[in-house]
Amino acid sequence: METYSFKLPDLGEGIVESEVTTWRVSVGDLVEEDQALADVQTDKAIVEVTSPVAGTIAALGCKAGEMLAVGAELVRFDVEDREGADSADTGKETTGTPETVSSSRVPPPESQAVRRSTSDRVFQQVLASPSLRKRAREAGINLAEVPGSGPRGRISHRDFEAFLAAGGELAVRGGAPGQGSTEVKLSGMRRVIARKMLESKRNIPHYSYIEEVDVTELEALRVHLNANREDSQPKLTLLPFLMLALVRVLPSFPHCNARFDADTETLAQYAAVHVGVATMTEAGLMVPVVRHCEGLDLWQAATELGRLSRLAREGRAAPGELSGSTITITSLGAIGGIATTPVINAPETSIIGINKMQERPVIRSGQVVARTMMNVSASFDHRIVDGYDGARLVQALKGKLENPGAIFV
């Protein structure tokens, strides 16, 4: 027998450490090559790391929920003597005496990893019957929090009822006062979001600019196009129009389609327009990126946006599909709100937020008329974008949205 040390691989994008959210194996388990070892949380997605060898788990590099540096030992295996196979891999002769050998033949992350959503992972790993899973979903209970008394921690209906009796279910009937509190440690995607939002607000001097936009004609065009679209074409929302409007106005504001490196004090201004679209998922906020919007027509932009949003919500978006944006759009959809002050998606310099559309009375040519109005809320990095320039960009965007024909000319 010999010892094989498998290091946490580089999962891309300059990541230096990752959280091991879930272990799929335990010490003493016999695993096959390519068997799932652990779920690892990167800045963008959950990655399933698989075994590069067959062997017995001798040690795990950390506990679930802890951070591990890239290159640190993730798993140590006891493996059969592979008769010099590691000599060729590592450039070091092995003698069969147990020793630590670094893995130098780990497959690249894209071939090694399969991303899964947080919600899928919870319900897949908990041992419980389908009927009990249904009860838990209807009660809003996370089964991962219910102690199981059966083999390998399997949860029975009796376990579930005991959990509810102990106060696991919030009281929804009667007037009994609430008691106690629950401490929830941030982990996984929520930990990543918290860190990124803090860094953005702490390091970027934000300012916001809000303007109302008359989208009556734009909304009429959207409804008309949807009513006459082909079966192969997606249903249009406001976002594809906004993406193409940005393509039209950003060449006049290159510092708003940019990324700022504060360490080197260098601003990278892009000819391409890679639009990140903030998307709410069960795992938390993700930003899939529609690349090269300058080369897309309206239907292509809508199709790509739909594809990426669906992958993000299903937890299947690749890290490369969740990075590289040059400007971000954020929308609360039907919730909308009157106005927002969006947080910049660092290291970008601008973010555009749209709020809900609603009919409002507006004075036009001395007459009170009903118009479909919507507020646009934008935030900018004041180190790069002066207040005057930010206002000009929003006004240019307003001009395109209020006269939608100009988007396509």
Q: What is the DSSP letter of 195?
A: H
Nearest-angstrom CA–CA distance, 107 and 119: 27
Which residue, among 397, 390, 392, 406, has the nearest Cα to 374 in the 3D structure?
397
Active-site position among 34, 81, 297, 386: 386
Q: Following DSSP, what letter does each residue of 238-286 receive, concatenated?
A: HHHHHHHHHHHHGGG-GGGSEEEETTTTEEEE-SS--EEE-EEETTEEE
From 78, 89, 382, 389, the catalytic residue: 382
- For the record, the structure tokens of 21 come out as 């959210």
Closest CA to 196 of 10, 5, 13: 13
Catalytic annotation on 386?
A: yes
Q: What angle do CA 52, 55, 61 make, to 5 degrees?
A: 70
> Which tokens sit at 43?
């800045």
Q: Give the rounded distance of the alpha carbon of 26 from its chain centre.
A: 29
Verify whether residue 382 is a known catalytic residue: yes
Kindly report the number of other CB atoms within 10 A of residue 193's CB atom: 16
Give the residues across from 57 on adjacent strands.
77
Active-site residues, by number, are 382, 386
